Amino acid sequence: MMDEAVEHDPVKPDRVRKSIGAEATFATDIVERDAARSELTPLVAKVRRHCEAKQLSARTMTLKVKYADFQAVTQSRTVPGPFTGSEEVEWFAQALLDPLFPVPKGIL
């Protein structure tokens, strides 16, 4: 018999949100960098719009990619000050994506 840890701390539904994200699952696995970049652009825009609407800024960007075998790879970069505009945000997102290519398996 295995002992399971039981968490007794109360649930805090109104806690401050520490991250914002967007994700997508694709109808066919992505294997080409240009296709991945095209799919990344609307996800970046969605997060950026949310941040603008809530007047939030960020210094860290994280990209999580899940391959066809469900293995996940995470890339992250923190900058000294908040990201300043949509072009900078898009550039950093692409910079996190590009080193993953060529991909060993398709991206889900």
Distance between CA atoms of residues 57 and 60, nearest Å: 9
**Is residue 9 a part of any domain in this protein?**
no
pLDDT tens string 21-36? 999 999 999 999 999 9
Residue ranges making up the domain that contains 44: 33-100
* 60 domain-assigned: yes
The confidence band for 3, taking pLDDT boundaries of 50, 70 and 90, is low
Number of domains into which the chain is organized: 1
- Percent of the chain clearing pLDDT 90 (strictly above): 78
pLDDT at 80 over 90: yes
Instruction: Answer yes or no: is 26 within a domain.
Output: no
Q: What is the pTM of this model?
A: 0.82
Domain CATH for 87: 3.30.1490.100
